[in-house]
């Protein structure tokens, strides 16, 4: 587990791009944190460094967007979902249990019991005075699969 502090959207974007250069296909990234914490910005810059040229927007209404970069990138937003049945309806389990490419899940903590066995958790939190641009970004992994990725990322952060 390690924590990076960023002081602007640009610094978070750079961190995401570093993560994008080290991430492996098959990785599931679970992004947590309040509205406006920086989850979508982070997803956008991972996708950018993975060769996605179209604009990455929040899939809050579409629930899932698929981008083609150097590999497929599946971007979920579970904010509006309320039940496991709805997850099943959108094919969540098929996509995340044996992922092709990279899976990014915003609001993953709403469905902790439904996540795959191994994944990377990235939590975004603000300072107590909610109005400034500082974010504390905590990386941790569940399972061993992504440990090397996180070790490499920690070195270059």
Provide the token pair at 74.
Answer: 């599946």
User: Which of Mg ion, ligand ADP, none does 116 bind, CB closer than 5 to 8 A by kind?
Assistant: none
CA separation for the pair 73, 125 (Å, rounded): 24
Name which of 136 and 145 has its Cβ closer to ligand ADP: 136
- Least distance CB 136 / ligand ADP (angstroms): 9
Contacts to ligand ADP from residues 103-142, by CB under 6 A: 106, 133, 135
For tokens 């309040």, name the residue: 34
Stretch that binds ligand ADP, among 4-12, 45-53, 64-72, 90-98 (CB under 6 A): 4-12
Q: At what angle do helices 9-22 and 39-49 cross, to 10 degrees?
A: 50
**Which residue in the set 29, 30, 40, 67 belongs to the binding site for ligand ADP (CB under 6 A)?**
40
Compute CA 21 distance to the chain's CA centroid, rounded to the nearest angstrom: 14
């Amino acid at each position: 587990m390690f924590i990076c502090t960023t002081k602007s959207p640009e610094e978070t974007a750079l961190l995401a791009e570093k993560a994008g250069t080290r991430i492996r296909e098959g990785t599931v990234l679970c992004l947590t944190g309040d509205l406006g914490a920086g989850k979508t910005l982070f997803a956008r810059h991972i996708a950018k460094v993975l060769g996605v040229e179209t604009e990455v927007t929040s899939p809050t209404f579409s629930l899932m967007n698929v981008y083609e970069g150097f590999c497929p990138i599946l971007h979920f937003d579970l904010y509006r979902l309320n039940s496991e049945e709805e997850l099943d309806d959108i094919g969540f389990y098929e996509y995340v249990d044996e992922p092709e490419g990279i899976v990014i899940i915003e609001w993953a903590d709403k469905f902790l019991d439904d996540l795959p066995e191994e994944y990377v958790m990235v939590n975004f939190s603000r300072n107590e005075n909610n109005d400034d641009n500082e974010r504390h970004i905590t990386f941790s992994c569940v399972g061993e699969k992504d440990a090397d990725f996180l070790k490499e990322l920690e070195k270059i952060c």
